[in-house]
Amino acid sequence: MSAEEIANKLWNLCNVLRDDGVTYHQYLNELTYILFLRLSEVKGFEDAIPEEYRWGKLKSITDNKDLFDTYRELLATISTKSDNAAVKEIYTNASTTLRKPVNLKTLVTSIDAIDWYDDVEQDKIATIYEDLLERNAGEKKSGAGQYFTPRPLINVMVELVAPKLGERWNDPAAGTFGFMIAADQYLRVKTDNYFDLNSEDRRFQVHEAFSGCELVQDAHRLALMNSKLHGLESRIEMGDTLSELGKSFKNFDGVLANPPFGTKQGGERPTRDDLVYLSGNKQLNFLQHIYRSLHKRGGARAAVVLPDNVLFEDGDGRKIRRDLMDKCKLHTILRLPTGIFYAAGVKTNVLFFERGQTETGNTDKVWFYDMRTNALSYGKRTPFTRNAFADFVKAYTGGMALSELKDSYDGSINHARRAEVQDERWSCLSREEIAQKNDSLGLGLIADANYSSIHTVEPIELAREAADELKAIQAELNQIIELLR
């Protein structure tokens, strides 16, 4: 049975549980509890599980009520009975949403019957779990889309910042830990799954190279499970990066992140005393945290997904953008298409920058690439794939092959080669030109052919915003129509 077939089987089990009042998101948490027990047997770390709760004991219970009672006791006590850190964290405050013992028996029996290994895919568990996370993110009612960045976007961001062995990378808004897992996989491919490394270097990559922080307990649980399934023993803190906890995340070689959108409830500002510009806008605070968390030895870099408002918000927004361009070489802004995240109208960008060794004057010019205007509308009919980034990657690298970038990346950007790229979506503004626009970075969008008449209106940005809103509404209507068919 292929990984996709297994994922389908596990996902469809949720339909069996719907009459038990279990949502997709709750089901994925329930599945995580049970899969971890099965995984401990398959992967050979059953010693971490108290003997009375091990998979063999659990599946041997024939009476449905006895099984259900044992399972509820397991969830309530396993984190206190085990000395294993992963067990403690995954099962902290665990409880079941199942109400019918027969449904638990169905889950246990079905998972036990799955053949997790075959000759083609030696280990399918990580692939299957990631597939389930993506499906859960696609369910709008689950609200899980906020924890899941589209895989093609994650992969291209990782490829372009090109992590290296021995570097320390972090995601301060980790979600299900997708960015760090992708960075780890990127390096495993280059080193034959780390078999090329000596024992100490291998230990560093597995235990110390990647870290994260996640505020929401359910997402944190999924991140721990995802990390474990991918062979990582990473530090993933549960807490708020914008609190005092976040001060401990520093001196990184790289950051990859998609911080949560929106404002803190009631306009509450972060409690960090090391952030100069405290804002009610969470993304602005995260951006400030991220560039301050990079070391100043040279070569520390980041790629961060941020919404449009970060690019042009006045007040603290302008101050933080100016600080960013002083302390870092902000070299590239990718204007992403709408419709690739769980909310169709969300307009986002990726900022690529490198921390300078000085505190001022590090940004001399910024390159923009517009993937949004006159572009495909992505959805069920037009899947968002890695191929969508082909032209952007060519512009970013100045025509270099990605293999060249991987082997030669030293934190520098070849502006001369970039200038040779012929693409109407690719443009460059100097730091002086940006300053003349009140340090706004809401730039780099080409003329929209569908709304050419609007471009004669004086407030061009407002006209473009209105056009984008109309597109977002149309995309939402198309999705509703698709669901009704």
Q: What is the pLDDT of residues 19-44, one digit of tens each?
A: 667 777 788 888 889 988 988 888 78
In 114-167, which ranges are continuous DSSP H helix?
125-138, 151-161
pLDDT of residue 5: 81
Cβ(312)–Cβ(441) below 8 Å: yes
Tokens of 74: 């397991």
Tokens of 271: 């409690």
CA distance 298 to 288: 18
Max CA-CA distance within the chain? 74
pLDDT of residue 229: 86
What pTM value is reported for the model?
Answer: 0.86
Give the list of residues 6+ apart from residue 462 with CB closer than 8 angstroms, or none.
none
pLDDT of residue 118: 55
Q: pLDDT tens-digit profile of 406-431?
A: 555 555 678 888 999 999 999 999 99
Question: Using alpha carbons only, how large is the chain's radius of gyration in Å?
Answer: 24
pLDDT of residue 180: 97
pLDDT of residue 71: 95
Using DSSP's 3-state secondary structure scheme, residue 333 falls into: strand
pLDDT of residue 271: 74
pLDDT less than 50: residues of the chain:
119-121, 142, 452-460, 462, 479-480, 482-483
Q: Pairing mode, if any, of strands 328-335 and 348-355?
A: antiparallel
Kindly list the distances between the CA atom of residue 147 and the CA atoms of 144, 150, 301, 386, in Å, as whole numbers in the listed order.
6, 10, 22, 20
Tokens of 344: 């169709």
pLDDT of residue 24: 75
Closest CA to 249 of 174, 160, 166, 163: 174
pLDDT of residue 120: 42
Run of H or E residues at 105: helix 101-113
Cβ(344)–Cβ(338) below 8 Å: yes
Run of H or E residues at 351: strand 348-355
CA distance 238 to 172: 10
Please give the order of strands across the beta sheet that includes 169-171.
235-238, 210-214, 169-171, 254-257, 301-307, 348-355, 328-335, 365-370, 426-430
pLDDT of residue 453: 41
Q: Measured at the alpha carbon of residue 30, what is the angle toward residues 25 and 32, in degrees to the nearest 5? A: 95
Q: What are phi and psi of 108, to 5 degrees?
A: -60, -45
Tokens of 340: 């690739």
